[in-house]
A and B are shown apart, each in its own frame.
Chain A
Amino acid sequence: MSLASSERSAPFLLTGPALMVFLGLVIVPLGMTVLLSFYDWGQYKGIVPEFTLKNWIEVFTDSYFFEIFLRTFRIALLVTLATMLIGVPEAYILNRMSPAWRSGFLLVVIGPLLVSVVARTLGWALLLGSTGIVNQALIGMGLIAQPLPFMFTETGVVIALVHVLMPFMILAVWASLQRLDPQIENAALSLGAGTLTIWRRVILPQIVPGILSGAIIVFSLAASAFASPAIIGGRRLKVAATLAYDEFLNTLNWPLGAAVASLLLIALVLITVGSNRLIERRYAQVFE
């Protein structure tokens, strides 16, 4: 082998092992799932490897699926908005704290990530149940007469997901806040800007890329979340991920489940890549 050709093949050889893992564990199963979604299925005949668009037509035409996908993205959108509303100010406050306080609070913020999804979500179930602490406190304070239904509702799912996904928003925004010039607020102040103007005109535009990348992460994780919707949403309040799970494991209609999973994946990829493009184009000249 000549030197030139060995030099050319070096990158492939070096990335080879990682590439094999990626191919074997991600790309191949993904391809098989997509392939599966074009197979036929019947109650008695099982999976038949015959090309059909039946599953896709069903997913796109049955209002049942439409409703579930709508709910999935509604929940994901609400979760994203809530994490933005809470996470952006929280990251800002965190960034202004003295280092000693900050490391403590950072731990609190990242806390949810350190606890297993199931334990955390069961905790929420205990809090939000009809005899849970939240309802008992509200009734005890005389604010409500009947317990509020949190369990098996979208509200409950949104609350739990906001809690779980908040760290991703906060860390993304915090990273962009740390890139700000420490004197930038003083500079705006000296030029006559008030607190609100400084936020709107100086801070916010500079951290928008951070907020948006946080939003993309939170949105995709919320839309594909399984554990929280499964435990808090329960059987009846299905989202795309729990729907696919049910089709696979309860109905045993794998091809239909595969179509649901593929559609969720495609929709998410389109949404994230699309918004990423948008950010990059919008902020290219300002932030290299």
Chain B
Amino acid sequence: MSHLVLDGLTKRFGSFTAVEAMDLSVERGEFVSLLGPSGCGKTTTLQMIAGFVPVDSGTIRLDGSDLGPVAPNRRGLGIVFQSYALFPHMTVAENIAFGLEMRDVPRAERDARTRAAMELVGLKGFADRYPRRMSGGQQQRVALARALVIRPALLLLDEPLSNLDAKLREEMQGELRQIQRSVGTTTILVTHDQHEAMALSDRIVLMNQGRIEQIGAPDAVYDRPASAFVASFLGKTNVLRGTADGRGAVAIGDLVLALAGAGSGPVQLAVRPERLVLAEQGLGARITSRVFQGTHWLLGAESAAGPVMLMRANDGLPVPKEGEAVHLRFAPADAALLPGGVSA
């Protein structure tokens, strides 16, 4: 049985559906990210799990028992807010100990656990600081320690790193992942940052307009996007138009590939720029732009199947110039068949 199960979770604000019939199972110790553009219902989902936002329909089960009737202050979940929501009138130690105090943990144990939590997040020696006197990264650590010290059944993180600058964010990503591994708390992270989701998660839940688009491991979702939305939201991607002949072959311009499940008629394929390669023959294209990016060149081209982008490693070999005619190809395994024909 899964640790956390969302079943048909739905939330409406008036006539607007923020989260629609969401199904999700999270295993114990797993790190799952809810990823999607702003306004797609990630925070609302998290707040329903936390109990801050009432559920319209559907259930939330934690270890098999329904969380619905449990008040938010009895759920025992650890939450890190985007703004951190630290108590500004309490010191770091008082902030972290607050949850233990609410649980009537005896003084000695409370102090010991507070100290351990501060050590875990690298805040040794900050016990008597007030949050206002700390940097964003340090405040973030206090928030994390405050949420973890109560040994929550679930750790819920709502865009915890979005207020940090890029360099610090990357540092904290690594640290967050390492801390989560060491304590083993089942974690749900809400983010709109695809790199963050891919770097941290065991599985990514891609959301769009209140619905789940795809669930899977980061590399699986990246390599095999289930929809045009996923393909375009996660990294750069090319959407190529082709025609299936109904016997398992798809023609994209002059390139013919064997693709199982293509059916017949017009199809759309998603191919990552790094999987498109220059070849002697294949899909005819003309280079329209050429940008040097250090480790590679980013080439733009106009092909018979639509505009494409491709990456060409900076390996010392000549790189086609703008206006040059080239041929492109890719392995059938590198193409994801998008549903919905050529509508998009």
The interface of chain A, by Cβ under 8 A from chain B, is 181-184, 186-194, 197, 201-202, 205-206, 283, 285-288
Contacts and interface: CB of A to CB of B under 8 A. Distances in A.
Contacts of A194: 73
**What is the interface residue range for chain B against chain A?**
20 to 34
Contact of B99 (A186, A192, A205, A288): A192
B73 A192 contact: yes
A52 to B, nearest CB: 52
Given A286-B130, A286-B132, A288-B132, A191 B85 contact: no
B99 A189 contact: no
Nearest to A208: B89
B89 A186 contact: no
B126 interface: no
Contacts of A189: 51-52, 72-73
Contacts, number: 72
A173 to B, nearest CB: 16
Contacts of A206: 87-89
Contacts of A183: 81-83, 85
A187 B102 contact: no
Given A194-B73, A286-B89, A186 B79 contact: yes
Interface string B72-99: 1111111101111111110000000011
B85 A192 contact: no
Nearest to A209: B89
24 contacts: A182-B83, A183-B83, A184-B85, A186-B47, A186-B72, A186-B79, A186-B81, A186-B85, A187-B87, A189-B51, A189-B73, A190-B50, A190-B79, A191-B150, A192-B74, A192-B76, A192-B102, A194-B73, A201-B98, A206-B87, A283-B89, A285-B130, A286-B130, A286-B132
Contacts of A201: 98
A192 B103 contact: yes
Contacts of A192: 73-74, 76, 99, 102-103, 150
B146 interface: yes
Nearest to B143: A187
B72 A287 contact: no
Which of A182, A186, A187, A194: most chain B CB closer than 10 A? A187
Contacts of B73: 189-194
Contact of B83 (A181, A205, A283, A285): A181
B308 to A, nearest CB: 44
Contacts of B77: 190
Closest 10 CB pairs of A and B: A192-B102, A191-B99, A187-B85, A183-B85, A190-B79, A205-B89, A183-B81, A181-B85, A189-B73, A189-B72
Interface in B37-96: 47, 50-52, 72-79, 81-89
Given A186-B79, A286-B130, A191 B88 contact: no
B45 to A, nearest CB: 15
Contacts of B82: 183
Nearest to B72: A189
Contacts of A287: 88, 132
Nearest to A184: B85
